[in-house]
Structure 1
């Protein structure tokens, strides 16, 4: 954590925050591609296509070409899912971070800065579905600065802010393909409370689920005591 400062977001940070967010989300495209490939429906389509074309054409070239095209289509779906999410986020809360996160007492947005460079972000808002909680959002750290405890420090910043505002817990949502994020949150004491499927068509056909975690601040306080 040498030379790392966690501070409240300023409007001059906007482009850096958007860059970190976009790069962080795009990193999950390969794992999403692998997730889709592991689904029984995907494997059945690939296998049936290969076998049907091999039987009808009596040649390896056509079925291999067809499966290659299908794999390219699968990767396109993975790109589409995250591109769509990035575009929606940039149009919504990240289009005016100050207005979204800094105008209410129970919300905030922080950046981690190293030698003048913004290297990490995190935010929290009042949870609409859990009135007793604040929701951790927009956690991301530049790839070049990972492994230095920045993400843990950002998590603790949200926990302290939530406790100071008198809330009982922090909740957050992450996707099934964000394995490193799941490990981080579980290491920080978050417990998985539910897992649900995004209802939109493309997410449903690839079984893309969201995992919700909760950090009970009273339990954390008892452990620290």
Structure 2
């Protein structure tokens, strides 16, 4: 990794950090849409609609148009789900990063800065709500054009070092079933999947959109 510096967040980073988060989350819309289409329930519903309209209308065009409309509605639902999550995060912890991550005990927010002084990656941590003995890694994001340079790995290591220095035995994080690249990264860094669960959103449950909990125990930390 060349010409990249990891430093603590500054107030002037606010807008670019929000941009990185929004772009990063929006990238998961296509894979989430495909995930839903692969679900047996979705395929069964689409097939029933197609066959019912085919039998009743004796026309091939009407079922095709109906399926196209349903697919468009499903994608719109996925976009709305992600937009809702993004807006919630922008209203909460990302609304005042300094207050949330820099003024609270055992919390911090870092940015990866390029040689032009612009943030191209982010990561944060704070005490985990469900595992108070651990810190939780949050808001890991790297601009697409800077991926493959080891930035995400160094951001993960930054959180691990910070947590270890403060006496925490482990770091936990949460990611989704569609974030396969993130899962590979975490597993490469020594994280172990400890739990799989559905978010409270009923649409997510119907679509089998599961979340994964990962944990990095420092005695098992593979620093490579």
TM over 0.5: yes
Q: Which residue of 1 aligns with 2:25?
A: 25
Q: Which residue of the partner structure matches residue 162 of structure 2?
A: 161
Paired position in structure 2 for 1:149? 150
Task: Please state whether the residue corresponding to 1:95 is helix, strand or coil.
Answer: coil
Instruction: Write out aligned runs for 1:192-207 (5 A).
Output: 192-207=193-208
When the two chains are superposed, the root-mean-square deviation of aligned CA atoms in Å is 0.9
Distance 2:120 2:201 in 1: 32
Confirm whether residue 45 of structure 1 aligns to residue 53 of structure 2.
Answer: no
Unmatched 5+ stretches in structure 1: none
1:188 aligns with 189
Alignment correspondent of 1:212: 213
Partner of 1:133: 134
Which contiguous aligned blocks of 4+ residues in structure 1 show a shift greater than 6 angstroms? none
- Once the 2 structures are TM-superposed, how far is the Cα of residue 104 of structure 1 from its aligned partner? 2.1
Q: Secondary structure at the match of 1:172?
A: strand
Name the structure 1 match of 2:69: 69
Q: Which residue of 2 aligns with 1:6?
A: 6
1:67-112 CA-partner distances (Å, limit 9, x unpaired)? 0000001101110111010000000000000000001230100000
List alignment gaps of at least 5 residues for structure 2.
none
**SS state at 1:214 partner:** strand
How far apart, in 1, do the equivalents of 2:159 and 2:23 lie? 22
| TM-score normalised by structure 2 residue count | 0.97
What SS does the corresponding residue of 2:94 show, helix, strand or coil? helix
Q: Classify the secondary structure of the residue corresponding to 1:32.
A: helix
